[in-house]
Amino acid sequence: MSPIIRSWRVFAKGIAIFLIFECAFYALHPTFQWLNVYNSPALKRQRLPISTVAPEDSALDVSNLDAMFASHIVSEPKAPNEYRVLVLGDSAVWGVGLTPEQTLPGQMDALGLKCGNKNVRVYNLSFPVSSASKDLMLLDTAMKYKPDGIVWLITWYTLMPKTRTDHPLIAQNPDEFHKLAHRFNFLPKNYNSPSWITQITDQNRSLFRVLRYQLYSLVNLATGLDQIPGPPEELPTQLNADPTFEGMKPPKLYAPLVSLDQVKDFYQLAGNIPVLLVNEPTLVLSGVPNSDIRYNDYYPRWVYDQYRQYVSAAAAQNHWDYLDLWNVFPPSYFTDTPLHLNPQGETELAKMIAPAVVKGCP
């Protein structure tokens, strides 16, 4: 006589076994770093991976911080005669639409700077979409690679209130973000910590992205490209008359809305490593409709002016090494957004920043 199979018992046992494996999987927290095909210097990237034309390059949306850094040239051993400089920022610094050599870090590296008897090597650790929280996460991971200097390019979007928690890297690394935010106490009061179920789900997604990213290395090797250029945006020929910005209305930008506490956290995280803070260049339009109200389609004049005043005052008060380069370039130097420069602009920007990088050399 055949045994009676009770489907509900089979289902319950299957769920129990699945949960046991998931709990063990979560506790062990595998990262598959042993599977890193980017160990070869020939495959190491000059900048962190990000998808620019989905779905063709969705595999570059890896998000796992350990996997991202393991494939980056900064993970190579530091030479005895190397003065290592890390550059952090947004898409303008990462170089959307530019080759690695054309970016600001690439241009700085090509200058052949010296720090005493050491060669200055410049690494692009920027990542698109401005966010101070995102940059803190990247710096926290990058500190183990022994930097000697750090250049951090910011703009008003970097220090906006919503970018404390609104960024893809934050969403895909909630546990790392939560721990870092608690270390420096910059969590908004209404932020909810990730649940246990959410952490398990995020870990599974992360591991899938890591495996997909490893396979994509074959495409990088075959093409020699680290990004697929997407269709460029177009700069507007006229500006909106609306002076509001992200729901904020003139005339006052209140100090608590500028995340200067996160700039202090950045300096604290860097410790004794010198940090150069740079307010990055932005497009300034004049002689076009409503240019008396807005500098560009990103920033109304009132909010950007007050943002600059707050950062400048904080830099003076805290003795930060600070360069405000917001208006150094004419409109012809910008490409598809009010923050993206053409190669010539990146070359000149590198020459402006370079003296401040090496002035404090031992």
Is the preceding omega at residue 362 within 30 degrees of 0, hence cis?
A: no
Task: Say whether pLDDT at 221 is over 70.
Answer: no
Q: What per-residue confidence (pLDDT) applies to 20? A: 47
pLDDT score for 200 = 62
- Provide the pLDDT for residue 197: 66
List, in sequence order, every beta strand (DSSP E) within 268-345: 275-279, 321-324
pLDDT at 289: 93
Report d(CA 153, CA 264) in Å as an integer. 14
Q: What is the pLDDT of residues 98-111, one digit of tens each?
A: 999 999 999 999 99
**Is residue 230 pLDDT above 80, yes or no?**
no
pTM of the model: 0.87
Q: Classify residue 17: in a domain, yes or no.
A: no
249 in a domain, yes or no? yes
* pLDDT category of residue 24 using cuts at 50, 70 and 90: very low
Tell me which of 325 and 18 has the higher pLDDT.
Answer: 325
Q: How confident is the model at residue 28 (pLDDT cuts 50, 70, 90)?
A: very low
CB-neighbour burial class of residue 254 (10 A; exposed 0-12, middle 13-18, buried 19+): exposed
Q: Give a yes or no: residue 287 inside a domain.
A: yes
Mean pLDDT of 254-277: 97
Is residue 4 assigned to a domain?
A: no
pLDDT over threshold 80, residue 83: yes
How far apart are the C-alpha atoms of 191 and 148, rounded to whole Å?
34
16-37 average pLDDT score: 48
Cα–Cα distance measured from residue 174 to residue 298, given in angstroms and rounded to the nearest whole number: 28
Domain membership flag for residue 9: no
| Residue 315 token pair | 């830099």
The reported pLDDT for the residue numbered 10 is 46
Which value, in Å, is the radius of gyration of the alpha carbons in the chain? Answer: 23
Contacts of 8 (CB under 8 A, 6+ apart): none
Lowest mean pLDDT among 40-44, 58-62, 256-260: 40-44
200 neighbors 22 (Cβ within 8 angstroms): yes
Read off the pLDDT of each residue in 264-275 and give the average, rounded to a whole number: 97
Residue 69 pLDDT level (bands cut at 50, 70, 90): very high
pLDDT in tens, 278-336: 999 999 999 999 999 999 999 999 999 999 999 999 999 999 999 999 999 999 999 99
Average pLDDT over residues 190-200: 65
Q: What integer pLDDT is reported at residue 360 of this predicted model?
A: 73
pLDDT at 37: 62
For residue 44, what is the domain's CATH number? 3.40.50.1110
- Report how far residue 251's alpha carbon sits from residue 312's, in angstroms, rounded to the nearest whole number: 19
Q: Quote the pLDDT of residue 122.
A: 98
In the numeric block, the tokens 């990237």 are attached to: 45
- The average pLDDT across 148-162 equals 97
Say if 109 falls within a structural domain: yes
Higher pLDDT, 17 or 85: 85
* Residue 23, pLDDT score: 45
Please state the domain count of the chain.
Answer: 1
d(CA 316, CA 311): 9
Q: What is the arithmetic mean of pLDDT over 85-98?
A: 96
Residue 290, domain member (yes or no): yes
Roughly what angle, to the nearest 10 degrees, separates helices 260-270 and 174-184? 90
Mean pLDDT (the chain) is 86
Which one has a higher pLDDT value, 185 or 316? 316
Answer whether residue 356 shows pLDDT above 80. yes
Expressed as residue numbers, the domain containing 341 is 33-227+240-358
Which SS3 state, helix, strand or coil, does residue 154 take?
strand
Residue 3 inside a domain? The answer is no
Q: Can you give the pLDDT at residue 184?
A: 93
